[in-house]
Structures are given as C-alpha cells and as structure tokens.
C-alpha cells in the first residue's frame, strides 16, 4: 500500500534510525491519556455508582495531563508546539482535497486534519473535566466546587458532561480512522511512531532533536506555579461548607419514636406537606397504629417540616420533593426513587440484612446525613 515516493515531495528517508519527532512527554501524554480516558469512559458509562471515585480520579488526572500538554504546546519540542501545527483554512482544505484523492501531502508532525483533531480533543477533554467538576460540586456536593455550585446547575452540567462524553467517543473513532488511513496512504506506521517517537520520513529542515533540557525546566516551572496556585485555590474552596447541607440538630423524639419500628428517615427525604399529612394520620400509618401523645406528635411534626426536602440542596432532597400522586407519603413510591432503584431486584431488598425497601441505611452507609453519596453505597451480599 505504500505510495511511491515522488521527487517533488523532497522527502528524506532514514529507514535505519528514523527522525525524532514525538518527544518523551508527548508519548507519555498520549498513552497515559488513552489509559485514563478508557478508565473514565468505563466507569462513567458502564460502572457501578460506587466506582465514582475511580471516575473522579481519572478526571483529575486527565485535567493535569491536559494542563501539562497546554504548557508543553508553548515551550516544548518543535513538533509539540502548537505553532508547528496551526494551519490556514486554505492549507487544511487543500490537504483534505488531496486526501480524498488518496494522495495526502506529507507532514513531519501533525498534518492539518490531525492538527484539527488535536485541538478539538484538547477542547473536549477540558470541557469534560470542567463540566465534571461542576457536576460533582452541584449534584454530588463533592469536590472543590461543592460549596459554590447549586444542585440545578450541577444537574444541567451533568447533561453537558454526558453529551461531551458521547462526542469524545465519536472523535476517538474518527481519530483512529484517521491514523489508519494516513498510515496506509503514507507508508508511515503512526502507531509505532507514537511509541518510538521516530518517523521514517521528514521534510527537509526538520531534522530536529527532542526537547532541550531548558524547555523541560521552563515547563516544570510553569506547571509547578500553576499547580501551587491550583492547590491554594483548592484548599480555600474546601473550607466552604456546601450550601445545600445545613447543620441539623438531631431530634431525640424523632430518633426513638420513628426509629423504634423502622429506619428513622432523614427529614430531607419528603417535602414539608407530606410530613405534615403523615404526622396527622399516625393512627393508620401504612396500615400500622403509630399514634403518639399530642405533645410528642407536634414536636416531631414541626421538626420534620422545619428540615424537610425544601430546605436542602442535596440530590435526594431535590428529587424526592417530587412525590407520587397516589402515595404522597411513601418515599419509596416517588418516581425518582423508583427509577434510581430500578436495577435493584426484589430479592436484594429481601436479603436478611436489608429486609425492606425502606431500610436505606442497609445499603447507603451515609443515609443518616441525608447525603446519599454514590461512593457510600454498599449492597450487602446476604
């Protein structure tokens, strides 16, 4: 499939040793990015909820890699620099026309189509990391933005995050197709080049070495400065208490009166109206006589309403505000609850250590706080 070399291509062939093109950092960046994107995609698309930490750490690592790549794009070795693969519209169109004819012009580094893909990938990856941080802070009340981002913004960015993730998969497909096509047409094994760093062909004047030591030192200095600034910002952000998680004094009567018969549900799991109705009908409480003396009933009822779903900005509170029309008092009847537990089979709820749908704490180890973090889910085997 190798195209015959033509004299006007002015291509120099160094079949024995090859010409250094991709420096060590570029190769490290490419392959570790591939591994991390695989991990993030797997945990994001297919993984269990409680694998969220792996997804988060993959995201942080991808963010770090992208920052380093951006810095390297300005100070790195010749073919790592963005300036070496910024092409004009005409150059790009002409490249594509030639490519369609099966004769793509040679480029030592990125060709115009590949360059476009590099910029697009860096943009989409940055978007994924940033939208992931907003999603994590808003929806999960975790990460550096937990204290700043309200739930509804986090949830909206969640949609965007999913869109970008799907787009990234599509782009990875196009990237691989591009590599295969160019390797076939150009006779240069691009996968091997990304492993060894060396290409067999290069245009004249491109017989460059990899990065100079000075470039590496400058890059380390810049990355270090960015890292220190980021760590400082992170630490001060971490001191902000998540707005949607008010500090709630525990009510003794609630804990004992409700908790004697069933798991004492966090007040944020139903809206105030539901709590009011529920506490007014204790004589027939889901078929059970749960009547209380009037003083205790009033105390618990007002405490529940004071800390009801409306007063929290957690994922559970935001969604459990929308109750079932038929069973407005039953948390496990709400549409969102049912959707989120659709994959949990009847047999799981019947396990001895769980017993019923209402025993939140059997699987959600942080149910007492009302947070219901994905990572705190631990479904007992028996």
Partner 1 sequence: MRKSLIPLALSGLAMTLTPALAGSGRTGILEQLQAEAGQAFSAERGKALFMARHKGGKPKTPSCTTCHSKSPLNAGRTRAGKRIAPMAVSKTSDRYSDPKKVAKWFRRNCRSVLGRECTPLEKGDFITFMMSR
Instruction: State in angstroms the smallest separation of the CB of 296 from partner 1.
Output: 9
- Dihedral, CA of residue 182, residue 187, residue 193 and residue 195, to nearest 10: 90
d(CA 109, CA 197): 11
Q: Which residues contact 191 (CB under 8 A, 6 or more apart)?
A: 179, 183
Minimum CB distance to partner 1 smaller for 26 or for 300? 300
Instruction: State in angstroms the smallest separation of the CB of 230 from partner 1.
Output: 47
Minimum CB distance to partner 1 smaller for 335 or for 355? 355
d(CA 226, CA 224): 5
- DSSP notation for 74-92: HHS-TTTSGGGG---HHHH
Instruction: State in angstroms the smallest separation of the CB of 140 from partner 1.
Output: 28
Instruction: State in angstroms the smallest separation of the CB of 356 from partner 1.
Output: 5
Q: What is the sign of the dihedral through the CA atoms of 110, 114, 120 and 122?
A: negative
Phi, psi of 19 (to 5 degrees): -105, 130
Structure tokens at 25: 């950092």
Minimum CB distance to partner 1 smaller for 250 or for 260? 260
Instruction: State in angstroms the smallest separation of the CB of 292 from partner 1.
Output: 7
d(CA 255, CA 234): 37
- DSSP notation for 232-273: HHHHHHHTSPPTT----PPPHHHHHHHHTTS----GGGS-HH
Minimum CB distance to partner 1 smaller for 13 or for 356? 356
DSSP lists the bridge partners of residue 372 as none
Minimum CB distance to partner 1 smaller for 236 or for 284? 284
Minimum CB distance to partner 1 smaller for 127 or for 358? 358
Distances (CA, A) of 290 to 279, 281, 282, 300: 10, 9, 5, 13
Minimum CB distance to partner 1 smaller for 262 or for 376? 262
Structure tokens at 258: 């409700």
Instruction: State in angstroms the smallest separation of the CB of 312 from partner 1.
Output: 24
Minimum CB distance to partner 1 smaller for 58 or for 354? 354
Q: Which residues bind partner 1 (CB under 8 A)?
A: 259-263, 287-293, 354-356, 358-359
Instruction: State in angstroms the smallest separation of the CB of 382 from partner 1.
Output: 14
Q: Which helix (H) or strand (E) holds 20?
A: strand 19-20
Distance in angstroms between the alpha carbons of the first and the last residue of the chain: 60
Polymer length in residues for the chain: 382
Instruction: State in angstroms the smallest separation of the CB of 366 from partner 1.
Output: 19
């Amino acid at each position: 499939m190798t195209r015959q070399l033509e004299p006007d291509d002015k291509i120099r062939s160094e079949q024995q040793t090859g010409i250094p093109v991709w420096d060590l950092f570029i190769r490290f960046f490419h392959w570790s990015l591939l591994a991390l994107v695989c991990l993030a995609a797997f945990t994001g698309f297919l993984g269990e909820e409680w694998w969220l930490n792996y997804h988060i750490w993959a995201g942080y690592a991808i963010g770090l890699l992208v920052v380093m790549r951006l810095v390297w794009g300005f100070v790195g070795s010749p073919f790592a620099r963005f300036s070496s693969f910024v092409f004009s519209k005409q150059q790009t169109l002409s490249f594509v026309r030639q490519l369609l004819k099966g004769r793509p012009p040679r480029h030592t580094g990125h060709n115009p189509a590949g360059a476009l893909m590099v910029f697009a990938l860096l943009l989409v990856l940055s978007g994924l990391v940033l939208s992931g941080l907003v999603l994590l802070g808003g929806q999960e009340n975790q990460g550096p933005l937990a204290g700043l981002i309200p739930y509804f913004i986090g949830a909206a960015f969640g949609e965007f995050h999913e869109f970008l993730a799907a787009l990234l998969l599509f782009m990875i497909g196009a990237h691989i197709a591009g590599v295969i096509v160019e390797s076939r047409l150009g006779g240069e094994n691009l996968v091997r080049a990304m492993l060894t760093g060396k290409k067999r062909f290069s245009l004249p004047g491109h017989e460059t070495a990899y990065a100079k030591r000075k470039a590496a030192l400058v890059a380390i200095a810049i990355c270090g400065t960015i890292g220190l600034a980021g760590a400082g910002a992170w630490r001060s952000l971490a001191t902000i208490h998540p707005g949607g998680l008010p500090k709630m004094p525990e009510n003794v009567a609630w804990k004992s009166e409700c908790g004697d018969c069933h798991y004492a549900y966090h007040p944020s799991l139903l809206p105030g109206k539901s709590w009011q109705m529920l506490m007014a009908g204790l004589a027939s409480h889901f078929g059970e006589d749960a009547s209380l003396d009037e003083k205790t009933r009033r105390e618990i009822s007002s405490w529940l309403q004071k800390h009801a779903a409306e007063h929290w900005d957690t994922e559970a509170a935001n969604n459990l505000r929308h109750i079932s029309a038929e069973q407005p008092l039953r948390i496990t009847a709400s549409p969102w609850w049912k959707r989120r537990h659709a994959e949990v089979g009847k047999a799981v709820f019947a396990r001895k250590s769980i017993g019923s749908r209402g025993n939140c704490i059997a699987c959600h180890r942080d149910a007492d706080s009302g947070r219901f973090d994905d990572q705190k889910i631990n479904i007992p085997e028996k």
